[in-house]
Amino acid sequence: MTLPAWTREPIVHFLAAATALFLYFGWVGEPADPASRAITVTREDRAALALQWERTMQRPPTDAELDSMVETFLREEVLYREAIRLGLDRDDPVVRKRLSNKMDYLAASMAETAAVSDSALADWLAAHPERFTPDVRYSFDQLYFAERAAAEAALAGGSTIGEAISLPASFENADRNRIEGRLGQAFTAALDDLEPSQRWAGPVASGFGWHLVRLRGRVVGTPPELTDIRDQVEADWRSSTEAQRRKDAYQLLRSAYQVSVEK
């Protein structure tokens, strides 16, 4: 049986894991008590400690060194459980922030490592061919400003006068390599996100400072086949959608809560 395409989405996997935990905790009444007096150091725990030592010291630990690491692990576990039992984790902004950051990282990492389908990558390639086509050419005007605030003020005020800099005010049918060589990869990537228009946009960052940009035209050739550049397309998709996938993961967790804000 072939599963629907949506079941392969990373965010669905994250939701399934979160739902499983929610249902489990609802069945048993509460999570397992972290202040339990029973602590078991498994063989896997000892192996993980030994591996951590070997990666740091570039040699396996001796029996005495491994025993010492186990004692350190036990000390931390005992103190951690006692702190939780006494409620020391509550109302502590530092602990609260670190735990929320770890959950945010977990959500992002689960989405980051999940497989992405060829159809999703094909759609991404079709939507952003300029990122993978070597012969893209751009025609645009630029105004330079040393400070972002000055660029924002010029954009808001409709000014078309920038600050002096040894860069062309206009680029005509310039290829990607030329623009990256003069203004950097970040600036060139920003051009890919702009739609040709007679209006100024920005501010756009470069190695020099900040720019207002009026993209007058972009000519895109034929990109390679997905099979030839799949790794490149996947890397671009992951880096470009990380923030949205992290936001989606949070919204799925957030939807499980009933929230009221007293005013």
CA angle 204, 208, 211 (to 5 degrees): 30
pLDDT of residue 22: 45
Q: Residue holding tokens 């702190």? A: 83
Question: What is the CB-side half-sphere exposure of residue 236 using CA atoms within 13 A?
Answer: 21
204, β-bridge pairs: 211
What stretch(es) of the chain map to CATH 3.10.50.40?
A: 126-219
126-219 folds as: Chitinase A; domain 3 (3.10.50)
Whether the Cβ atoms of residue 128 and residue 134 lie closer than 8 Å to each other: no
Whether the Cβ atoms of residue 135 and residue 95 lie closer than 8 Å to each other: no
pLDDT digits (tens, 9 = 90+) for 5-47: 544 555 555 555 554 444 444 443 444 455 567 888 888 989 9
Alpha-carbon gap, residue 172 to 162, rounded angstroms: 19
**pTM of the prediction?**
0.45
Mean pLDDT of the residues in the chain: 81
pLDDT of residue 23: 43
Alpha-carbon gap, residue 160 to 153, rounded angstroms: 11
CA–centroid distance for 108 within its chain: 7
pLDDT digits (tens, 9 = 90+) for 193-247: 888 999 999 899 998 999 999 999 988 878 888 989 999 899 888 877 777 777 7
Q: Please, which contacts does 76-80 make with residues 24 or more away whose CB atoms are closer than 8 Å?
A: 77/39, 78/39, 80/34
